[in-house]
């Protein structure tokens, strides 16, 4: 067994590998860029080596620097994680040639299966059903359009070395094919150093189901059941679960056996995943093979009771697989939510900056610990006060739950999301909560087009209807009443002017489309010692009890004897007097006023925000890589204005209406902040 390994990656996956290595008594080496010098994975590792500037092409994609770090520290093996160089066959070969063990498949297996084009050719030769397309690199955007016409729209334009949704576009017409080819090529070059792109038919209403497998150097390969990964937004997975609520045992067995046969054909060893497109009738087609550990591997670990990172390390060290196919179990149901730094209410634009608060829900299962199941687990590469940089992907954490069945897992996930506190950057938690509550998701009735169909016009606050808004109002009133009680107990108050607390209040909702909605609230049986009260709101009665301390955002308690978790904080930037309540994805800002104060508040004039319609604003922090217009140019609605690069993705800004460019306010190469003006129209 190795005594020291280097992790050629960053963030969450670097932390994940370090945790298992420590369990096995193996020392670890981290490599880091300037942007990651204070990152959690650097602190967790036994040693750390600086490898360059923040852009990945100057650090995490530079093979020479990573190999040099191995030699400098005496690391005997290298774990590539996922992304970056993890599926680069040439890198794996060079690592092995330098006498360092690559904790992953052999380079020849990776070359055959990791390359999207070559793997399709091999699968076709092996008699596996493949989706119609052109399995060779396309040289130009014009050629891509020509091929797309021959195949028939819609088509999928995909980078050969792509992964994680990078370098992938779906085109429904010639214009989208032309622009998609260019964007895919640029993203693939920047993220993977390989700009080859191919085109294939896009199968509509498909399920995306993948088979996890692991092989050793003795020719043994087993499949570890499947993962359902159909909930995707722009081809990036949002929620994954295991097993799939769709396929039956016969299909599961057939898919697993086909995946194993494919792996054995290329002498595959280590962990890998074979992805399939599955039709309504449970017919399935080979899509690609990911020759690495997947982001969503924890759900497989939950239902099988295995540590996949440990299996990878043991196989790389020359050990035999410790289990046969008959030993693989399927226990309970696991769900993973990817918690990303993006604003779902602003078209999911990236959100970078400092994590002013990062308080995950309490963990009862842990990465690499195979003794605890049926609980909550958080895999993350960040910590309280850490930074979300603009140079890498947007993932903050992975929230994983394991339940006895699917409904139990959904309930656990909703409660865990309620207790996940993130401040300083926006996150997609409200969107995750909406998906988990959607009747079709709960019923298991969805495919890869689910998010586009249900949230095609974007995600809005009203897309997360709360089952009981009065409960949120009651929570705000309860917290307000506790604060009043504390204020009334302060000594030294002027005689005759002490704080007097009545029983009747008016709760006014502020800052939303429901701005100004008010609810009469009556408080009975308030007990400052037991921290409980009975509140009447809108004809409903709520007996609330909670001993959560003042200033704590995450609130636990009971309502009518049922436990709840919510987030409650006093004072927001827009409304310092309001109490903000967040529960099941819904956010409500409530001012709890005396009846007289509510009358006066109703007379306050509404201050309209300034008109910024003449400007094209940067919707996110990022690098301005292209300004497509000039002063004096006439621009039509929908015309390309600028391109911003953030978190390895190109984001194209279009004109919202016709106009003439008056000023260009930002230059190419400039780092932009949120809402910074780029172009002004006259």
Instruction: Say if residues 33 and 61 touch (Cβ distance below 8 Å).
Output: no
Q: Which 8-state DSSP code applies to residue 500?
A: -
Which is catalytic among the residues 87, 187, 240, 288? 288
Instruction: Say if residues 476 and 453 touch (Cβ distance below 8 Å).
Output: no
SS3 letters across 555-606: EEEEECCEEEEEEEEECCCCCCCCEEEEECCEEEEEEEECHHHHHHHCCCCC
| CA–CA–CA angle 608, 614, 617 (5° rounding) | 90
Helix (H, G, I), strand (E, B) or coil at 482: helix
- CA gap 392, 12 in Å, rounded: 12
Torsion of CA 317, 323, 324, 325, to 10 degrees: -110
Torsion of CA 423, 427, 431, 435, to 10 degrees: -100
- CA gap 32, 359 in Å, rounded: 24
Phi–psi pair at 172, nearest 5 degrees: -110, -5
- CA gap 361, 369 in Å, rounded: 18
Distances (CA, A) of 647 to 109, 351, 357, 385: 30, 9, 21, 20
Q: How far apart are the first and last CA of the chain?
A: 69
Phi–psi pair at 471, nearest 5 degrees: -65, -40
In total, the chain counts a number of residues equal to 682
Nearest CA-CA partner of 352 in 672, 15, 586, 569: 672
Q: Say if strands 101-102 and 284-290 run parallel, antiparallel, or are unpaired.
A: unpaired
Q: Which 8-state DSSP code applies to residue 294?
A: -
Q: Say if strands 166-171 and 579-583 run parallel, antiparallel, or are unpaired.
A: unpaired
- Reduced DSSP (H G I as helix, E B as strand, rest coil) percent helix, strand, coil of the chain, to 5: 30, 30, 40
Active site residue 64: no
- CA gap 285, 266 in Å, rounded: 19
Kindly provide the residue ranges of all beta strands, DSSP E only, lying in 234-332, ordered along the sequence: 236-242, 270-278, 284-290
Nearest CA-CA partner of 226 in 179, 324, 296: 296
Look up residue 173 and give its two tokens: 């017409």
Torsion of CA 43, 46, 49, 54, to 10 degrees: -30
Q: Which residues contact 96 (CB under 8 A, 6 or more apart)?
A: 102, 106, 107
Look up residue 213 and give its two tokens: 């497998």
Strand partners, 617: 677
Nearest CA-CA partner of 606 in 574, 649, 583: 574
Q: Which residues contact 99 (CB under 8 A, 6 or more apart)?
A: none
- CA gap 419, 567 in Å, rounded: 7
Q: Which 8-state DSSP code applies to residue 61?
A: T
Instruction: Say if residues 381 and 41 touch (Cβ distance below 8 Å).
Output: yes
Strand partners, 646: 649
Residue with tokens 């100057």: 58
Residue with tokens 């700009």: 195
Residue with tokens 């160089």: 85
Instruction: Say if residues 418 and 567 touch (Cβ distance below 8 Å).
Output: yes
Q: Which residues are catalytic?
A: 288
């Amino acid at each position: 067994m190795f005594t020291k390994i280097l992790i050629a990656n960053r963030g969450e996956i670097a932390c994940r590998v370090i945790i298992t290595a420590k369990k096995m008594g193996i020392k670890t080496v981290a490599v880091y860029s300037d942007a990651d010098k204070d990152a959690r994975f650097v602190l967790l590792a036994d040693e750390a080596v600086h490898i360059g500037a923040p852009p990945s092409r100057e650090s995490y994609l530079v093979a020479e620097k990573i190999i040099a770090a191995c030699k400098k520290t005496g690391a005997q093996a290298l774990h590539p994680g996922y992304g970056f160089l993890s599926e680069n066959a040439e890198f794996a070969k060079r690592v092995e040639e330098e006498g360092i063990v690559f904790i992953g498949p052999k380079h020849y297996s990776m070359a055959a299966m990791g390359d999207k084009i070559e793997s399709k050719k091999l699968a076709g030769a092996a008699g596996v059903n493949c989706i119609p397309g052109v399995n060779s690199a396309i040289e130009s955007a014009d050629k891509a359009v020509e091929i797309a016409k021959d195949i028939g729209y819609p088509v999928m334009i995909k980078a050969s070395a792509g992964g994680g949704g990078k370098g992938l576009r779906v085109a429904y017409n010639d214009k989208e094919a032309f622009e998609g080819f260019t964007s895919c090529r640029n993203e693939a070059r920047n993220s993977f150093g390989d700009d080859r792109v191919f085109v294939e038919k896009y199968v509509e209403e498909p399920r995306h189901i993948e088979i996890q497998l692991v092989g050793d150097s003795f020719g043994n390969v087993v499949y570890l059941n499947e993962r359902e990964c159909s909930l995707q937004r722009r081809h990036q997975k949002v929620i994954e679960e295991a097993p799939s609520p769709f396929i039956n045992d016969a299909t599961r067995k057939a898919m697993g056996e086909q995946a194993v046969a494919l792996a054995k054909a290329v002498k595959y060893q280590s962990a890998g995943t074979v992805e399939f497109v599955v039709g309504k009738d449970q017919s399935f087609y080979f899509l690609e093979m990911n020759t690495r550990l997947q982001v969503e591997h924890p759900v497989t670990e939950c239902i099988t009771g295995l540590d996949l990172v440990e299996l990878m390390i043991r196989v790389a060290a020359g050990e035999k697989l410790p289990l046969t196919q008959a030993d693989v179990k399927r226990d309970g149901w696991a769900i993973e939510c990817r918690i990303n730094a993006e604003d779902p209410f602003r078209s999911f634009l990236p959100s970078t900056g400092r994590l002013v608060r990062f308080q995950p829900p309490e963990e009862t299962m842990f990465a690499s610990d195979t003794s605890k199941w049926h609980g909550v687990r958080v895999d993350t590469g960040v910590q309280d006060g850490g930074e979300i940089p603009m140079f890498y992907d947007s993932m903050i954490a992975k929230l994983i739950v394991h339940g006895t069945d699917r409904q139990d897992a959904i309930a656990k996930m909703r409660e865990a999301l309620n207790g996940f506190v993130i401040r300083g950057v926006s996150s997609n938690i409200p969107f995750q909560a909406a998906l988990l509550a959607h009747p079709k998701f709960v019923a298991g009735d969805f495919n890869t087009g689910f998010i586009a169909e249900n949230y095609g016009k974007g995600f809005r606050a009203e897309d997360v209807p709360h089952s009981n808004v009065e409960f949120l109002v009651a929570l705000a009133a309860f917290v307000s009443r506790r604060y009043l009680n504390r204020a009334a107990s302060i000594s030294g108050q002027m005689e005759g002017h002490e704080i007097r607390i009545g029983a009747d209040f008016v709760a006014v909702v502020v800052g939303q489309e429901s701005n100004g909605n008010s609810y009469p609230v009556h408080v009975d049986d308030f007990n400052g010692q037991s921290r409980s009260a009975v509140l009447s709101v809108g004809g409903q009665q709520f007996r609330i009890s909670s001993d959560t301390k003042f200033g704590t955002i995450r609130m636990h308690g009971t309502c009518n004897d049922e436990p709840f978790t919510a987030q409650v904080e006093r004072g927001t930037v827009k409304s310092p007097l309001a109490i903000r309540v967040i529960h099941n994805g819904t956010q409500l800002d409530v001012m709890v006023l005396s009846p007289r104060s509510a009358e006066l508040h109703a007379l306050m004039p509404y201050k309209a925000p300034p008109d910024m319609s003449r400007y094209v604003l940067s919707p996110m922090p990022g690098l301005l890589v292209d300004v497509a217009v000039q002063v004096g140019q006439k621009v039509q609605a929908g015309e390309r204005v600028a391109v911003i690069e953030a978190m390895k993705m190109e984001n194209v800004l279009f004109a919202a209406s016709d106009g003439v460019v008056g000023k260009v306010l930002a230059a190419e190469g400039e780092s932009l902040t949120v809402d910074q003006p780029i172009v002004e129209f006259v």
